[in-house]
């Protein structure tokens, strides 16, 4: 009787591809993770005092009504042309281009009339512009002032 001699090979698992995949996943998660940095603001609140506050600097108010008409500092303009608006700004500012301009527009005013007012402000040389909106009934009272420019 002949005995067969069998060679037994040891089984081994090659983990090199597994390590490569885990390493790639690690890199992927490191690159795609977003880190949020919480920002904190230090706010110094003013303290109340009994002194009389300084008067705020004069401002030029331009009011844009629902129908596209303009008023500067409560005075209605005779028409809605940009030249009239520029001239009214010159008169009301007294030539001081450093005054802040407050543009108050009716919520239902057309976009074109607001852009025209902003264009007139820019052409007049003003650089400080604030934009606000008011309820329609408040604007109608302001625009219907009896004095005209």
pLDDT, residue 40, reads 63
Domain ranges (residues) in the chain: 60-143
- Total-model pTM: 0.53
Residue of higher predicted confidence among 57 and 128? 128
Task: Give the tens place of pLDDT for each residue, 116-135.
Answer: 888 888 888 888 888 876 65
24-52 per-position pLDDT tens digit: 999 999 888 877 766 565 656 566 555 55
Q: What pairing do the DSSP bridges indicate for beta strands 60-64 and 70-72?
A: antiparallel
In words, the CATH class of domain 60-143 is alpha beta
SS (H, E, C) 38-50: CCCCCCCCCCCCC
| Per-residue model confidence (pLDDT) at position 139 | 47
Count CA within 13 A, CB hemisphere, residue 145. 19
Compute the average pLDDT of residues 108-117.
86
């Amino acid at each position: 009787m002949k005995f067969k001699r069998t060679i037994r090979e040891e089984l081994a698992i090659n983990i090199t591809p597994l390590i490569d995949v885990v390493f790639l996943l690690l890199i992927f998660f490191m690159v795609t993770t977003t880190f949020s940095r919480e920002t904190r603001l230090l706010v110094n609140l003013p303290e109340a005092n009994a002194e009389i506050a300084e008067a705020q600097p004069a401002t030029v108010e331009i009011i844009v009504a629902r129908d596209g008409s303009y008023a500067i500092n409560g005075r209605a303009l005779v028409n809605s042309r940009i030249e009239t608006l520029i001239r009214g700004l010159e008169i009301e500012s007294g030539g001081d281009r450093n005054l802040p301009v407050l543009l108050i527009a009716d919520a239902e005013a057309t976009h074109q009339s607001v852009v025209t007012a902003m264009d007139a402000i820019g052409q007049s040389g003003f650089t400080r512009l604030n934009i606000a909106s008011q309820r329609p009934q408040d604007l109608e009272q302001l625009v219907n002032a009896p004095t005209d420019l």
